[in-house]
Structure 1
Amino acid sequence: MQVPLQITFHNLPHSEAIASRIEQQFDKLCHFCDRIVNCQVVVEIPHQHCHKGNSYHIRINLTLPGEKLVIDRNNSNSFNNNAYVVIRDAFNAAQRKLKQYRELQKI
Structure 2
Amino acid sequence: MEMLMQIPLQITFHGVDHSDAVETRIREKVAKLEHLFDRITSCRVVIEQHHKNTSNLHHKGEPFHIRLALTVPGDELVVKRDPKDSHVNEDIYVALREAFAGMERQLKEYVDRSRGNVKARAQA
- TM-score when scaled to structure 2? 0.78
In the other structure, the counterpart of 2:72 is 64
How much identity, in percent, do the aligned residues show?
A: 44
In the other structure, the counterpart of 1:55 is 63
More contact order relative to length (CA 8 Å, sep ≥ 6): 1
Amino acid at match of 1:101: Y
**Which residue among 11, 24, 30 is the counterpart of 1:26?**
30
**Which residue among 34, 37, 40 is the counterpart of 2:41?**
37
Distance in 2, matches of 1:55 and 1:80, equals 6
Cα offset for 1:46?
2.1
Structure 1: gaps spanning 5 or more residues: none
Cα offset for 1:78?
5.3
- TM-score when scaled to structure 1? 0.89
Amino acid at match of 2:39: R
Alignment size in residue pairs: 107
Alignment pair present for 1:103 and 2:102:
no
In the other structure, the counterpart of 2:93 is 84
CA-based RMSD of the aligned residues comes to: 1.9
Structure 2: gaps spanning 5 or more residues: 117-124
Distance in 2, matches of 1:60 and 1:25, equals 11
3-state SS of 1:101 partner: helix
